[in-house]
Amino acid sequence: MRADTNCKQLATFIVSSTQGAFLLAKAQRNPAPVVNLKEVLFSSVLQRA
């Protein structure tokens, strides 16, 4: 992450995204939304600067 990252805003984004992914996964009866979230979160959002 960059040094100027707004940690509170990032945390809110991660929680909201996680909740949405789990809601979709449950509705679709498919773990793909959670898998996709994990891949994007760790490959892009939480990369070291």
How many domains does the chain fold into? 1
Classify residue 21: in a domain, yes or no.
yes
Crossing angle of helices 7-28 and 32-40, rounded to 10°: 160
Look at residue 25 in the predicted model and tell me its pLDDT.
98
On whether the pTM is more than 0.75, the answer is yes
pLDDT value for 3: 85
Per-residue pLDDT for the chain (49 aa), expressed as one digit of tens each? 788 989 999 999 999 999 999 999 999 999 999 999 999 999 988 887 6
Q: Is residue 2 part of a domain?
A: no
Assess contact for 25 and 34: CB atoms under 8 A: yes
Whether 1 is covered by a domain: the verdict is: no
On whether the CB atoms of residues 37 and 13 are closer than 8 A, the answer is no
The parent domain of residue 24 ranges over 7-45
Is the distance from CB of 3 to CB of 49 less than 8 angstroms? Answer: yes
